[in-house]
Amino acid sequence: METGKRHTQLIADFVKGYADGWFMAVKECYRNELDIKYSERKKDKQSFFEWTQGPYFCFAEGHLFYDTPKPYEKGKKWGQAIKAIKVACKITSATPTILDKNKNLVEGTVNFTIYKPNKEFSSLIAVQDYKLSQIKFVNFLKTGNLKE
């Protein structure tokens, strides 16, 4: 199994503060959870920095995502924002992806609840609980696909 080498092909391209083209509105502040880091590299004995991708996804309890950026917009009232939401998810517990003592990648898990607006669009109601690996959770954030 891969031991966590970093590469320059990033899982997310952030445009206007969000992962471009993703199903859920994943804000740029989640770079660390996506293991996207500004890393020092060397080429021909010259140091430079560039964005790199690693395998150590670490989403955690309390992280909340909507399928639209509307709820995050400044000045947007919740009564307006909820009308734009089709799906939301909130992490109830999680373990990060780590390297074990033998340098094997140990995939973390994410337990989360899917929410949808009620008929009146006045609140979000819990629909179903899921448990996925960190990588499958990232795939859900990207595609909206919850199938194992």
Report how far residue 112's alpha carbon sits from residue 108's, in angstroms, rounded to the nearest whole number: 13
Domain limits at 100? 14-143
Domain-embedded: residue 115: yes
Domain-embedded: residue 3: no
pTM: 0.91
Domain-embedded: residue 2: no
Q: Could you tell me which of 16, 42, 17 has the C-alpha nearest to residue 30?
A: 17
Q: What is the pLDDT along the chain (148 residues), one digit of tens a residue?
A: 345 589 999 999 999 999 999 999 999 999 999 999 999 888 888 999 999 999 999 999 999 999 999 998 888 788 899 999 999 999 999 999 999 999 899 999 999 999 999 999 999 999 999 999 999 999 999 999 987 5
Domain-embedded: residue 75: yes
**What does the H/E/C string look like for 110-132?**
EEEEEEEECCCCCCEEEEEEEEE
Q: How many domains is the chain partitioned into structurally?
A: 1
Domain-embedded: residue 148: no
